[in-house]
Chains A and B, each alone.
Chain A
Amino acid sequence: MRLHPGHLLALVALLGQQTVVATLVNSNLIRTVTLGASAYVTEQIGVVVQNTDTHATHTSYRVWAGDAAKLERLASLHVHERKSGRELPVTKKDDMEYVVTLGSPLAAGEKIGLSIDMVYTQMAQPAPATNVGQEDDQRWAWDDQLLVASPYATRKQKTVVSLDGNTNSNGGTRLVRHEGARGSRDPDTGSVVFGPFNSGDTAGRGRVVFVSNAEHVEATGLQREYFVSHWDDTLHVSDACDVRNAGPSTPGGAIDGVQRMMSRFTGARDHLIKSFVVHVPGTAREAFFVDAIGNVSTSAIGTVGKRQKAVHVMQLKPRYPLAGGWRYAWRHGYRVPLGEHLRRATDGRFHLHVPFIERLVASSSSDKHLAVPDHSAAAVLDYELRVTLPQGACNVELRAPFEAEYRIEHAKHYLDAPGVARPVVVVSMRNVPPAVMGQNVVVSYDYSWAAMWLKPAAIAACVMGLFVLASVVSRLQFGLAPAASKLKSKAE
């Protein structure tokens, strides 16, 4: 393994910290890693923490989410107290470390059970990176340190790697092999257990290879834009997506044209992503699906499911099927009546409720019928939400049921009068966790009637000004002598 500068940093930090907090120990730690059909990998660390000091101390607990490479892939980190189930506040101290506030100091010898839930992207990589045949199983490898890094001494720990039971039409997941110290397979659960390891043991890295034929898609760039128009009574929604099939690549990076042709009729499995499905509101109108070189001709909107469970979906078929490692970038969108998302409070303030992000589900099925695959959404590695408010909106703020930092930018569109810009609320997020998907954010702003009439007034003033100017110019005489036609008409 190559030594990453981040690893060194982590090591230095580890050594430095360990000397400082010798009085708090992890008396027992069990890490459960769940692999499977999802593009996300979850890690749950159950740890019993004990204050070994002689007096009450330690109001916080420090968590290392892993080395620098792993931190890059961290999507979310939540900590609960196991006994009460209470979520504990977590703050990011620096690039490496998160601090959990425990509330009251731990009494001497007191133990507290913590549950640390982490979600990562890109933790499972295709192995081998290239498949021999297009229809071969997709194999993935999870590879990580077997000992959980912590600033505290850990007396006993083990890592359990379990496979998600979620099965799908492509054959579900199945364990192939495991490598690593003290690894064994639990015959009852099918999980792989590494450990237990006691304080002072060395373990190195562990590796679990498994088969998952589900679609593993990463959105390397995703941008959602809401454009609020009060005059039009419309909310324009558009998503710019740049996705990559994270699965094993095909031989020579190519796909078999003959097999592609034939699988249209036979429906044979080929791991090529043939469509994406996104939810759209039933009132969506003027949907579009374009990429850098124009409309993509193949797309459909329809209802899936029965009665109450029916949902409206938009099926987007990319220009070409995506083999492992292939990219595709596009933009889709629609408009919905603004009233569905905007409310005016009694104090006159406007509140816009909109989904923070829409799930993007990939499908490799050749089935021509519209269907929503039941497996999880694409992993979103880089996300940006932009909400463009009308010209003159002010006192803008964004509230979300999760931690989201936002900034306000300014933009101008459609004959906006000079001097007054449209506020744009921008939220950027790396590694969007699945829990956030489907949640709404609320953008609140003030918008006076004067601001609303500003543009029509400005345009009317411009037109009037032009009219007056034309009228004045037509009455002025620029020539040295009066024009012949005018003389003639005077003579008449």
Chain B
Amino acid sequence: MAYKVFGLTASDQTSLLRIAILGLISIVAVGSRLYSVIRFESVIHEFDPWFNYRTTRYLVDNGFDKFWNWFDETAWYPLGRVVGGTLYPGIMVTSATIYNALHLVNIPVDIRNVCVFLAPAFSALTALATYQLGKEVKNATAGLLAAAFIGVAPGYISRSVAGSYDNEGIAIFLLVFTFFLWLRSVRLGSALYGALTAIFYFYMVSAWGGYVFIINLIPLHVFALLVMGRYSNRLYVAYSTFYVLGTLASMQIPFVGFQPTFTSEHMAALGTFGLIQLVAFASYVRTLVPSDQFRMLIRLSILGLFVVGFGGLVLLTMTKVIAPWTGRFYSLWDTAYAKVHIPIIASVSEHQPTAWPNFFFDLNMLIWLLPAGIYFSFRELSDNHVFLILYSLFAAYFAGVMVRLILTLTPIVCVMAGVAMANVFEIYLDFSKTKAEAENMAVATAPAEKEKEKGKSQGGAGEPPVAVAAKTLYETAGFKRFYALFPKIVVVANFLYFLCMFQWHCSWITSSAYSSPSVVLASRGPDGSHHIIDDFREAYYWLQMNTKADAKVLSWWDYGYQLAGMADRTTLVDNNTWNNTHIATVGKILASDEDTAYELARRHDVDYVLVVFGGMLGYSGDDINKFLWMIRIAQGVYPDGFKEEDFYNAAGEYAIGDTASPTMRRSLMHKLCYYRFHEVMGPQGFDRVRKQKLPKDITLDNFEEAYTTENWMVRIYKVKDLDNYGRSHHAVSAFEGPRFKNDFVF
């Protein structure tokens, strides 16, 4: 019987409760992503987000047309970059739309704040989308659990904390919502939902390169259903609508262009589209032709099609009409591929294979609920469940080979865990049946007890009274009720404990591992005091304020986007890494001796060289530690210049200072990092990262120190102009002596 509360019926109460829970989940999802803002400030994090932020600012300041046609001559000097045609504009357009909408109602919010809080806001939407997905495949309970999981799962938080203004921040919402729409369109056979799927797929294409996952997984789902003999008109309507509209829409993004028609990544979708047409045709023919003839017909057709299709594919790939898979995709099949062939991909830490503890670190108990979810999906196995299983398997594989792809695994893990846990709760939280069963048992045992009592009185006092008492205890109604309830209580209590621990774990991981902006560092003093280390911004802002507006700054590509975003200066290479040769040239300049580097730098119009050095603070992510990758990348393009082995000393160690190999000591990187460093660290000083003694007597003639930050983390050098008298800079230095004299004698 339903009770009315405040005039609301039971179903209204449930709806209200559901909305309230979803609201709370959204608040928790947003709130747990704000650690970085509270600890540090509202600042854009890391590297790529700085590019997105800069382009968003450009879009807001200059309008869509200029943004679309933007040629950025300050990047990849002297080549430049066609920004409008080489980015996924989804995130910028989203932010600019929010910004303009807020300004329309006169809320003068800063574009930086829109960018910083975009990912947390979208994480709340992701929770809602996951709820819909869970509800679609199981029920509202599963949906709510899945939403609660995705709201706080560190695997997703790692890419969506406030300030992490990257494509993934909105793409995960789009991924989940597109899949939800797809599943609904398959279930209903609705062209409307198919079209909506295509629209959100288009949004996804505009936002993230990971859209390839959708355009392969959905065809795979369709293909699997076809193979399983689950073809239906619903499937035909859903896929045909989605594929046609989605593909046409996706081609409107300049960066994607005609790729859906000729690249290998998109061929599966095209093939499946063709296949489903044939299957649809076949099923139509089946209604017209007798079954024996039909069987023969279908065999011949399949054989013919396979031969023609496969032959055509091979031919087109060989003639390069269909572009081969890109390097990043090869490394998905062979994890050692990149290290051998494309060092620039291997040098990025997020492209490394995932270590096992990472799964537990990012997903905690959800990772062991995933198989349970797969099991429950198999038990029901509708069209939708096939999708879930496929998604789980493929995402799990990809997450295993590339650490950043844990991100795409997280949504399905949350949904599967939601399904698994909803099944558990359905059984173990249903106390109504338990109560009834216990009462029935109690009623059933009552006459027997009476019988026994009767027998006892007849049989005399020979039997031990203890045994009678024990029988009574086991067979009492209270005990049976307890016996029926106990396992349920234990299981539910256990799961509640796990849920609490999960939340605890997620908060802790978010707070300790994923909330550092990396632009600003923090350290704790021995007395517990909090110190902010802000050397990066110190250097970038110095460059912005005190160098010519058209100055060209050379640095390793890691800092390209930050330099453009914070220092507003021209860079030679940046995190876009589209031109390996250019990056290799920068690597060569840094690895060469001073004179060669000077000549190359002048040829590239370089005004300043920026290096990151952690020797004073013990910051291990510095350029000396990245130096081997620079050498490897340079060596790949300029094999005749130098070899990686030359940078190891006689003992085979990668050393710095006086024990380093001569090539290492001569290299520009070594000189720029350690120039005059021993003067501050003293005669016994050592590098706090490498734990090695410092080099002495480093001479630097062609470059001059322009600025060194407070903790020596960033050092900027000016490339000297040619001498007015035509002398070499070595001769000038020998004549004039050092610019700054050291008065400090240790």
> Could you tell me which A residues sit within 8 Å of B by CB distance?
133-134, 251-262, 291-297, 319-320, 325-329, 412-416
Contact = CB atoms under 8 A, between A and B. Distances in A.
A259 B718 CA distance: 19
Nearest to B109: A414
B697 to A, nearest CB: 15
A306 B41 CA distance: 35
Nearest to A295: B41
A292 to B, nearest CB: 7
Given A294-B41, A412-B106, A253 B541 contact: no
23 contacts: A251-B739, A252-B704, A256-B705, A256-B740, A257-B680, A257-B705, A258-B742, A259-B744, A291-B541, A293-B540, A293-B566, A294-B520, A295-B43, A296-B534, A297-B534, A319-B534, A319-B538, A320-B710, A326-B545, A326-B546, A412-B106, A413-B107, A414-B107
Interface size class of B (residues with CB under 8 A): 35 or more
B283 to A, nearest CB: 28
B542 A415 contact: no
Contacts of A251: 739-740
Given A295-B41, A319-B538, A320-B538, A329 B705 contact: no
A329 B537 contact: no
Contacts of B566: 293
B108 interface: yes
Interface in B663-713: 676, 679-680, 704-710, 712
Task: Specify the main secondary structure of chain A where it touches its partner.
Answer: loop
Given A254-B704, A257-B707, A319-B538, 18 more contacts: A134-B740, A252-B706, A252-B739, A254-B706, A257-B680, A257-B705, A258-B679, A262-B680, A293-B43, A293-B566, A294-B537, A296-B534, A297-B520, A320-B707, A326-B542, A327-B546, A414-B108, A415-B105
A67 B302 CA distance: 95
A329 B542 CA distance: 10
Nearest to A261: B680
Contacts of A253: 546, 706
A329 B568 CA distance: 14
B718 A254 contact: yes
Nearest to A462: B105
Given A292-B541, A297-B532, A413-B108, A254 B41 contact: no
B530 to A, nearest CB: 10
Interface string B735-746: 000011111100
Contact of A257 (B43, B712, B741): B712
B544 interface: yes
Interface of B: 40-43, 105-108, 520, 532, 534, 537-538, 540-542, 544-546, 565-566, 676, 679-680, 704-710, 712, 715, 718, 739-744
A385 B198 CA distance: 53
A72 to B, nearest CB: 24
B191 to A, nearest CB: 15
A262 B743 CA distance: 10
A468 B105 CA distance: 20
Contacts of A326: 542, 545-546
Given A291-B541, A294-B537, A254 B707 contact: yes
A261 B708 CA distance: 10
Contacts of B545: 326-329
Nearest to A256: B740
Contacts of B706: 252-254
B106 A252 contact: no
A258 B704 contact: no
A357 to B, nearest CB: 23
A260 B712 CA distance: 11
Contact of B106 (A133, A254, A416): A416
A327 B544 CA distance: 10
Contacts of B718: 252, 254
A422 to B, nearest CB: 10
Contacts of B105: 415
Contacts of A327: 545-546
A257 B708 contact: yes
Contacts of A297: 520, 532, 534
A255 B105 CA distance: 48
B720 to A, nearest CB: 9
